[in-house]
Amino acid sequence: MRFYIQTLQQRLDAINQLRVDRALAAMGPDFQKVYSLLSILLHFHHSMLPGYLDGNVPHGICFYSPAATHSALLDNISRQAGTVIAPPDSSERPITGVYSMGSTSSIGQNANSDLDIWVCHQSWLDKAERAQLQRKCDLLEQWAIRQGVDVNLFLIDENRFRHKKSGSGGDEDCSATQHILLLDEFYRTAVRMGGKRILWNMVPGAEETHYDEYVLSLYSRGALTPNEWLDLGGLGPLSVEEYFGASLWQLYKSIDSPYKAVMKTLLLEAYSWESPHTELLAMKSKQRLHDGEIVSFGLDPYCMMLERLTYYLTQINDMRRLDMVRRCFYLKVCEKLSKDPTGAPWRREILTQLVTSWGWGEARLKMLDDRVNWKIGQVREVHNELLDAMMQSYRNLI
């Protein structure tokens, strides 16, 4: 058992490093700077660092130490300030871990993507401490915007999903109507920027219904050490309320991100089609991790979503919407194959394989790549098609 756990941990670290590398390779220097420094700025609290405010502000990430390049930066600031910038003294620090989630590091990440980050904290923080940490996060969001990067920092109590509590407020927080779906997305897309590894990855899919008992057995046998892992709990069945709450949320989100919203709404439809024996994408991703598929394109969250939608729409013989989903995927990726390469090679390699398998020709690629010059009639036609697809999925869910 101990050897198996060590192997899984090595695989988990390998796929996490791959995702970090991909997240940085896909974006420009401003994004790279913000992404690399956020953990530092949450770990330390000093008047010469962004995110500083007076008072008792919780800071410090469990099991985190800066990279060598960041240590040099901190040393330089310390010399300028005439004082040492030191981490908090406590070994059990208030921030459990910092994780980017969503499209970050996937093929769906593009130059227009924002950065969604969960700042998971210990449940023992009181109301005043959480408020101070939220203020620090707000200041860091403002700092990131000044760097040209749109960042959303969400405070997540480590017991939030176990007790089905709502989290911090805001336009991006849909937890009042979503619980399992939000956790499903986090588990399959999370990239650990600093802090504890995610415990859920270590529990085999066959043990999901006995999640807590299996975790306790790992601790009792010494296979894992308590307090060294972020434990947000297992994935349970989806409720009717979650389906409707999530579909309404995607209708709202489609105003700004229509291609992504169409794909996510169709995923809900595919989940409901399989009900009550739905296999969440996070479960599929974890199975591939346990099977050793580390560098496989199949571990890319957006590719996995496309794979599931392709299977569903093929099974119900809906080729019209399948073609639309493929176009949504292509436009979301923003990698123009008819033009000279400018982005990360791995993104272009994946997309080239896909469009070849779809039988797309050069004319179709040029038409999609030239969408900024589409005539108003063509834009209206595409808009209506996307809206019809959203409403059809909603009717199917009903």
pLDDT number for residue 39: 94
Q: Summarize pLDDT for 170-205 with one digit per residue, the tens.
A: 445 554 457 899 999 999 999 999 999 999 999 999
Same domain, 221 and 253: no
Could you tell me if residue 199 is inside a domain?
yes
Could you tell me if residue 235 is inside a domain?
no
Same domain, 219 and 327: no
* Residue after which a domain boundary falls, among 180, 206, 230: 230
Number of helices and strands in the chain (H, E): 15, 6
Same domain, 288 and 158: no
Same domain, 206 and 339: no
Mean pLDDT, consecutive 10-residue stretches, the chain (398 aa), reads 87 92 88 93 91 93 84 74 68 91 91 92 96 98 96 95 59 60 95 96 95 95 92 90 83 83 93 92 94 77 95 96 96 91 84 96 95 91 90 87
pLDDT number for residue 296: 64
Domain count, the chain: 2
Could you tell me if residue 43 is inside a domain?
yes
Alpha carbon distance 52, 135 (integer Å): 9
Could you tell me if residue 215 is inside a domain?
yes
Q: What is the enclosing helix (H) or strand (E) of 308?
A: helix 301-315
Same domain, 32 and 132: yes
State which residues form the domain around 53.
Answer: 2-230
Alpha carbon distance 157, 120 (integer Å): 6
pLDDT number for residue 90: 61
| List of residues 6+ apart from 144 with CB closer than 8 A | 34, 38, 115, 150, 151
For residue 36, how many other CB atoms are within 10 A of its CB?
A: 16
How distant, in Å, are the alpha carbons of 89, 139, 146, 170, 199 from that of 57?
14, 12, 23, 21, 27
Same domain, 216 and 250: no
Same domain, 213 and 283: no
* Residue after which a domain boundary falls, among 207, 230, 253: 230
pLDDT number for residue 169: 43
Same domain, 334 and 373: yes
Could you tell me if residue 136 is inside a domain?
yes
Q: Summarize pLDDT for 335-358 with one digit per residue, the tens.
A: 999 998 877 788 999 999 999 999
Same domain, 302 and 182: no
Strand 151-157 and strand 115-121: the pairing is parallel
* Residue after which a domain boundary falls, among 230, 255, 270: 230
Same domain, 222 and 253: no
Same domain, 337 and 191: no
DSSP SS3 for 11: helix
Could you tell me if residue 278 is inside a domain?
yes
DSSP SS3 for 129: helix
Same domain, 225 and 349: no
